[in-house]
Structure formats: structure tokens, C-alpha cells
Homo-oligomer: A and B are copies of this chain.
Amino acid sequence: MKSDELASIIEKASELLTPSPEEKRNALEVLNQAVLLLKEAAIKLEFDVSIVPVGSITRDTWLPGKTDLDIFILFKKSFPEEKLGESVISIVEEAFGKYTLRYSAHPYARVKLSGFEIDVVPAYDVENALELRTPVDRSPLHAKFLEERMTPNLARDVRLLKAFVKGMGAYGAEVKVEGFSGYLCELLVLYYGSFLDVIRAAKDWKEPVVIDMAKMVSSTEEATRLFPNPLIVIDPVDPRRNVASALSRTQFYRFKAAAKAFLKSPSEKFFLEREVRQPDEEYVLSLVEKRGTYLAALLFDGLSEAPDTLWTQAKSGARKLHKLLKNNGFPVIHADGFTNESSSVLILIETPSRLISPIEVREGPEVGRPGESEFIKKHLGAENTISGPFICENRWFVLKRRKNNDVKSFIKGIIRTGHGLPKKLFSAKTKEVFECREISKIPDWALKFIYEWLQRKEPFLRELADP
């Protein structure tokens, strides 16, 4: 009965998650057309390259609605690396005329065709990981590995797993998500055998989980020594790489909990993305005021970096500020960073209140132990000593007046000096500190993040609470 129910839910979900024949035909036509155009251009320009479509569409593991495609132009290993960019550009220009230049490891080109966005990426044509010249050279090897093993049933289950992690906000290896890449989803399904087997295994995951499907490393110990991650999936085409290295511990445990929730109380809604409506200022303001804490916002504007770099800056900036505040006696409830992925970063810091104690109890060495006389010398009669040094139990203590007990002015000091801030953030054209209550200062794009942040809650709680 329970298992029938589970099967029927999975059946229904997989129907929803299968691109229609029309969508599929359309995508493949566009892909083939693009490959053809690129091949002709390469021949005309006399490049000795192969043009290969790379990506989930070629294996039927893509979710409906996908409109971005990837095509790799593979150069011989002897081809000079510094010429990869200009060569791809000339081929793309010949094939499509118009393009946008993008960068990751190398420059690559993005073109538009029949409503699709196609990334055309240069790489070297290699047989195996030992021959890799650049990180992107791995992608065609991944594609090959997966294509050789994917069956229609497995492909269906990859789509289920992708939709499942997407539904819980854990799809993608980028800094914003720190979740499961598409490749990781495909490997997990191949390894465990089905979507349901992945979920059943994940429910009982204990970190570190080591998956070495191609028997690439000598032992589990070896793997955990090499990779400090909760999930270690040795890349079957390159043992030096953990496919799950971007997965954070939080996402690892969220997935484990979501798996348990799904098995406890299966439902199609696990496969659906939650709609997050854009909240209005009034409503966010009411949430902020009801909360009663001190919510500081740091806005960095006029930045110009790739989206993932901006996310890195935002997250690491938040982490650094959190640490700095903590080390200076300011308790932090929560700190996080966000970006509009083009030019702005917003860091939110929540503390219990704007002011902390004007004085602090500082612990000194044990009575009679080294450092005693230095501690006394340092604090005895110092201008900011309120009382002490005195002995309590077996230790020295002193009460000190704090240099700063106002979190806002402390943060402003950091913004001014840059100490403890990521360099790129410090070099932002404009930097501003304000309170979330000054709601009109919050850029529109950030409202949704703040709204989500204030209401942060796992989507699968009802299921876990069920008896």
C-alpha cells in the first residue's frame, strides 16, 4: 500500500518532469543545427577541431523548460592555449555572426538561436584525465562517461533527483547554492541504481560518505584524507577530483533530512519549486519590526565581477564580519550575504541589539601560572580598567571598558578601514551601512532575499513532524 503510493507519486512526478516530445524535438533540432553551423565554419576557417554537444540534453536527463545548451569545440593538444579564445571567436563569428564574450577558465562565446542560449566553449581533445590541460577539458570526458551508461529508466530517475534537489533549493554547485551539480545527480543515480535508492541511502548517510564507483582511490581513509567534504564522490574520469566538493555540510544534511521526510510522507510537492513572491517593502518592514532585533545591512555597489565571484564575495564577507563581530564581543544571531549577480552585494547582520555591554569581564591566567605578572601589569591602573585584577576561584579576572559597544559604529569602522573585509568588497565604488528598518534604502532585488532570510524554514517540516 505504502509502496504502491510511493510508486504512483514517482510515476506522476516523472510524467511532469519529462520534456514533451515536441520540446525535445525542438531542442535537439536547435542543438544539431548549431553543431552543423559550427562544423561548417571550422572547416571553412581550416581549424582541425571536433564539435561536440555536451550536456544533459544529449542524454535525456534535462528538465522541461531548459533553454541553455552547451557545445564544446575540441582542439588538438598541440594547439597553443593562448589562441583558444580568438579561435573560438572566429569560428562562432563565422557561424552565427553575433555573440557575447564570456569568461570562465577561458574566454568562450554565448550565442542565441531560436530562443535558446548556447555556450560555445573551447577545450582540448583528451583521452583521459592524465592528459588534461585545462579544467574544462574534463566536461567532454564526463559526457562520454555518462552517455555510455545512461538508460531511459536511469535518465528518468536523474530528472527526478534533479527536480527533488531543485525543489528544496539545493540544485547547483555554484556558491549561491553550494548544492548538487547536474553531473553529481547523474552519478548518484548511476551509483545507487535509481532515484529511490539514492533517497533511501541518503536518509541514512553518515558523513563522510565515500562513493568511488570506478575504484579510483585505494581506500575510504585515503579518500577522506584527500577531501574534507561530507560527501565524497570520486570523479570516475579523474580521481584527483571530488564531484561533490562544492556541496556544503548544510546542504548535505538538508538533503538527508529531505530524503527522510519524503520517505516518511511522500508527495509530489517535493519535486516542485516553491514560488517565492516578490514581497512589498511594507510587509518586509513589518517583519523586521516585529522581530525586534538589530538588523544591519551593508550595501556594496558598483562592483563588476562574474556572478559566482560576487556570491563568493557576499558569502565570505558575511562570514568574516560574523567572526570579527564575535571576536569583539558582539553576539551575532545570523549573518549572510546576497548579490544581484551584476554589480551589488548586500550583507545582512542580525544581532540581539545595537548596543552591547559597555564593560566586559576579561579572563586572565590561572593564579601562579605564567603570564600572571604580565596580566596584572597590563591591566593594573590602565585607563580602561573598571575594576580588578581580582581572583575568582583559581583565575585572575579584570573588568574592562569596551572601546566600542555600538555594533553600527563598529561595522562602519570596518567599512572605513577595510580590515577584515574581502578586498573586492572594500574596493566597491560605494559602500553604505544602514538598518533594515530604513526600508527604502534596501534595493528592490534584495527584498526577496531578506524576506526569505527572515522566514528561513525548511520546506519539508510537516513531513518530518508527522508521526
Q: How many copies does the complex hold?
A: 2
B457/A257 in contact, CB under 8 A: no
A203 partner residues in chain B, CB cutoff 8 A: 368
B257/A367 in contact, CB under 8 A: yes
For window 218-262 of A, CB contacts with B under 8 Å fall at 249-250, 253-254, 256-257, 260
Shortest A130–chain B CB gap in Å is: 36
Given contacts A291-B359, A353-B355, A355-B353, contact A391 B465 (CB under 8 A): no
Interface string of A388-429 (1 = CB under 8 A from B): 111111110001000000000000000000000000000000
Given contacts A292-B358, A352-B356, A361-B333, contact A253 B394 (CB under 8 A): yes
B456/A256 in contact, CB under 8 A: no
Check: A462 CB closer than 8 A to any chain B CB: yes
The stretch that binds B, out of A67-75, A184-192, A369-377, is A369-377
Shortest A91–chain B CB gap in Å is: 46
A388 partner residues in chain B, CB cutoff 8 A: 456-458
Q: Which chain B residue has the least Cβ–Cβ distance from A249?
A: B393
For window 343-357 of A, CB contacts with B under 8 Å fall at 351-353, 355-357
Bound CA span A334–B357, Å: 13
Query: Main SS of chain A's interface residues?
Result: mixed
Bound CA span A225–B390, Å: 30
A390/B457 in contact, CB under 8 A: yes
For window 179-219 of A, CB contacts with B under 8 Å fall at 203-204, 207
A249 partner residues in chain B, CB cutoff 8 A: 393-394
Check: A45 CB closer than 8 A to any chain B CB: no
Given contacts A372-B464, A456-B387, A458-B390, contact A293 B359 (CB under 8 A): yes
A325 partner residues in chain B, CB cutoff 8 A: none
Choose one: B352, B357, B376, B390; the contact of A333 (CB below 8 Å). B357
A387 partner residues in chain B, CB cutoff 8 A: 454-457
Check: A386 CB closer than 8 A to any chain B CB: yes
A356 partner residues in chain B, CB cutoff 8 A: 352-353
B380/A462 in contact, CB under 8 A: yes
Interface string of A424-467 (1 = CB under 8 A from B): 00000000000000000000000000000011111001101111
B376/A464 in contact, CB under 8 A: yes
A390/B456 in contact, CB under 8 A: yes
A204 partner residues in chain B, CB cutoff 8 A: 368
Given contacts A257-B367, A394-B253, contact A465 B380 (CB under 8 A): yes
Bound CA span A393–B229, Å: 12
Q: Which chain B residue has the least Cβ–Cβ distance from A358?
A: B292
Q: Which chain B residue has the least Cβ–Cβ distance from A251?
A: B391
A377 partner residues in chain B, CB cutoff 8 A: 465
Interface centre among A358, A361, A393, A465 (most CB of B within 10 A): A465
20 residue pairs bridging A and B, Cβ less than 8 Å apart: A207-B394, A250-B391, A250-B392, A253-B393, A253-B394, A291-B358, A333-B361, A333-B399, A352-B357, A352-B359, A353-B353, A372-B464, A376-B461, A376-B464, A377-B465, A388-B456, A388-B457, A388-B458, A389-B461, A390-B456
